[in-house]
């Protein structure tokens, strides 16, 4: 009898553990674009750097490419020494407000940190270790800025609380934009970057000239499209068909924006 009770308790404990892990996964904020998307942004930026900037950046990163270092800021989330950077990946600007009018997060936000890191790199006074890490942060954060749900306009953790299903599996809206639409194409990051529509020279020039605040407004302007969901919140082929062109455009714009900043710093 005692042995049977122990077995039942063990089975119940396993069920509770599985449930707890499932809830943790559903509530943990996703990282913008996921590994593939960030690498695409890095590769696009690499292709639009001035030659002098390429040489200097290669020296700073010990010959690692922008694509290789693009996920560094997500990788170090597991290190408690970087807990202070967790809020740097996003910002919330409520409807009717500008960024200047919005309530600032005392821990920092994505717009604030892109501008601070850019200014620090432009001084060229950082130690080699500091410069490399600042550059890695900048590559990642510029990518984040162009994922629309990282410039939120409502209290739902950038779409993490917007529960949906993706091809029948439980998910959330952030994760769909972060990685699931991209991974559903089953492309390598270099293949996906190669499939992006290359903008004209005039378009590239215009995009490179835009400020971080202007790009944040572009991302936020996409939110009505992002949140156009069916009543049953079941997403699959149609949602991807209606939005994947926008995903590709955002990735291209992020790469061009990043190249523009890096050319200013190193070019």
Span 202-219, average pLDDT: 96
Token couple for 126: 């950082």
Token couple for 137: 């942060």
Predicted local distance difference test score (pLDDT) of residue 33: 87
**Which residues, in sequence order, are CB contacts of 263 under 8 Å at separation 6+?**
49, 50, 53, 208
Sheet holding 234-235, edge to edge: 169-172, 163-166, 234-235
Predicted local distance difference test score (pLDDT) of residue 17: 40
Report how far Cα 89 is from the mean position of its chain's Cα atoms.
7
Pairing of strands 151-152, 163-166: unpaired
Confidence bin at 18 (pLDDT 50/70/90): very low
DSSP state of 70: T
Question: Of 16-25, 83-92, 184-193, where does mean pLDDT reach its minimum?
Answer: 16-25
For domain 31-266, which architecture applies? Answer: Orthogonal Bundle (1.10)
Predicted local distance difference test score (pLDDT) of residue 117: 98
Under a CB-based contact definition with an 8 Å cutoff, are residues 250 and 147 in contact? yes
pLDDT digits (tens, 9 = 90+) for 54-113: 999 999 999 999 999 999 999 999 999 999 999 999 999 999 999 999 999 999 999 999
* End-to-end Cα separation, the chain, in angstroms: 77
Ranges of each domain in the chain: 1-29, 31-266
CA distance 62 to 56: 10
Predicted local distance difference test score (pLDDT) of residue 24: 37
pLDDT digits (tens, 9 = 90+) for 239-249: 999 999 999 99
Classify burial at 58, counting beta carbons within 10 Å of its beta carbon; exposed 0-12, middle 13-18, buried 19 or more: middle
CA distance 239 to 161: 18
CA distance 68 to 132: 13
pTM of the model: 0.88
In Å, the largest CA–CA distance within the chain is 79
Token couple for 205: 């020039």
Q: For the chain, what percentages of helix, strand and coil (3-state, to nearest 5) are there?
A: 65, 5, 30
CA distance 153 to 91: 9
Average pLDDT of the chain is: 90
């Amino acid at each position: 009898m005692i042995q049977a009770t122990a077995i039942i308790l063990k089975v119940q404990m396993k069920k509770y553990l599985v449930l707890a892990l499932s809830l943790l996964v559903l509530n943990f904020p996703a990282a913008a674009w996921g590994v593939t998307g960030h690498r695409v942004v890095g590769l696009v930026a690499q292709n639009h750097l001035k030659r002098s900037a390429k040489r200097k950046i290669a020296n700073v990163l010990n010959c690692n490419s922008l694509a290789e270092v693009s996920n560094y800021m997500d990788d170090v989330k597991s290190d408690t020494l970087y807990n202070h950077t967790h809020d740097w990946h996003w910002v919330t600007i409520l409807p009717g407000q500008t960024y200047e009018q919005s309530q600032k997060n005392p821990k920092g936000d994505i717009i604030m940190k892109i501008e601070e890191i850019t200014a620090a790199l432009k001084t060229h006074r950082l130690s080699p270790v500091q410069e490399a890490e600042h550059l890695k942060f900048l590559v990642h954060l510029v990518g984040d800025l162009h994922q629309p749900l990282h410039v939120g306009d409502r209290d739902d953790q950038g779409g993490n609380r917007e529960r949906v299903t993706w091809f029948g599996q439980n998910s959330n809206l952030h994760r769909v934009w972060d990685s699931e639409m991209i991974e559903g194409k089953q492309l390598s990051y270099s293949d996906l970057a190669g499939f992006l529509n290359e903008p004209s020279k005039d378009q590239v020039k215009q995009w490179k000239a835009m400020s971080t605040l202007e790009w944040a407004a572009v991302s936020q302007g996409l939110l009505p499209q992002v949140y156009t969901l069916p009543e049953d919140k079941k997403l699959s082929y149609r949602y991807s068909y209606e939005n994947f062109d926008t995903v590709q455009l955002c990735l291209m714009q992020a790469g061009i924006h990043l190249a523009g900043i890096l050319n200013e710093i190193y070019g």
